Amino acid sequence: MTFNPFETSACENTIHELYHFLDGELTEGRRREIEMHLNQCGPCEDVMRFQEELRRVLRDRCQETVPQDLRDKIAALIHHESKVDEVDR
């Protein structure tokens, strides 16, 4: 599927494929079409920037889903279990 990046409907296509674009799932030709549209179209570029920012925030949050004190507890538990193992042996 291909579209004219200067048509108004290109906006819908661009927004629709933005997820795939950001995931790097598109073919080289498709990426170039969308990049071309984003360069020409302010509103779509704003949406793309927003999606990129949102992804970065979500990614950062995901890495912090386990709080440090919980990590310590888990580490202590694992340490304790390994000690029990040692006693059993």
49 vs 71 by CB, closer to Zn ion:
49
Q: Is residue 38 within the footprint of Zn ion (CB under 5 A)?
A: no
Residue 36 Cβ, how far from Zn ion at the closest point, in Å?
Answer: 11
Distance set, CA 3 to CA 27, 31, 37 (Å): 14, 12, 10
Q: Which of 18, 34, 44, 48 binds Zn ion (CB under 5 A)?
A: 44
Quote the tokens at residue 36: 């071309």
Q: Is residue 11 within the footprint of Zn ion (CB under 5 A)?
A: yes
12 vs 72 by CB, closer to Zn ion:
12
Which residues here bind Zn ion, judged by CB under 5 A?
11, 41, 44
